[in-house]
Every structure is written in structure tokens, then in C-alpha cells.
């Protein structure tokens, strides 16, 4: 699972290109993002798992009262339902 957390009214960002959304395949795989947090071998494992649908992308929204709602995201970074 790859999780992005947002507080209050914050939402997923869109890159300066105007189309690449945070948590999309392009965003996750771009800019050596995975390689900066894990070694190259583990990054490759994660990418392969993403490609085969073994990894969920989750957006955790935390409201001002501390309540957390988790949403499942598609490969473009769009909410496709609640995540449980």
C-alpha cells in the first residue's frame, strides 16, 4: 500500500505540467521518487507490484476533528471508492 495523507481541505496536488496528479503512476515512478526512499531493488519490486495490481494507492483525509477517511485511488490518482 502507498498512502498519501492530507489534512483539512488539502487535496492531491497536480504537477506544473497541469496533468500529472500526485499518487498517479507517472508521479510515483517519476523523479526517482521510489529510489530516494528505498534501494533500487526494492523500488523495482514495488513498481512490478504496482503494475500487477498488488499494491493499493490510498488517500487518507484527516478532518479538523481528527477523523480519518481512506479512499482508494486509480493509476491516475483519482478517487475510485472507499478503502477498507
Where do we find the cell 497536480?
14
- Cell readout for 28 is 510515483
For the chain, count helices (H), then strands (E).
2, 4
List, for residues 37-67, the tens digit of each pLDDT value: 999 999 999 999 999 999 999 999 999 999 9
Residue 42's domain comprises 2-82
Query: What is the count of structural domains for the chain?
Result: 1
pTM given for the model: 0.86
Where do we find the cell 514495488?
46
Tell me the C-alpha distance between 16 and 32, whole Å.
17
Tell me the C-alpha distance between 24 and 7, whole Å.
19
Distance between first and last Cα of the chain: 12
With bands split at pLDDT 50, 70 and 90, how would you rate the model's confidence at 84? confident
User: CA dihedral in degrees (39, 43, 46, 47; nearest 10)?
Assistant: -170
Amino acid at each position: 500500500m502507498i498512502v498519501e495523507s492530507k489534512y483539512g481541505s488539502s487535496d492531491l496536488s497536480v504537477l506544473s505540467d497541469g496533468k500529472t496528479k500526485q499518487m498517479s503512476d507517472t508521479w510515483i515512478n517519476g523523479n526517482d521518487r521510489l529510489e530516494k526512499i528505498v534501494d533500487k531493488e526494492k523500488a523495482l519490486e514495488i513498481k512490478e507490484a504496482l503494475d500487477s495490481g498488488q499494491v493499493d494507492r490510498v488517500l487518507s483525509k484527516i478532518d479538523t476533528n481528527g477523523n480519518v477517511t481512506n479512499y482508494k485511488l486509480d493509476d491516475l490518482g483519482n478517487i475510485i471508492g472507499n478503502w477498507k
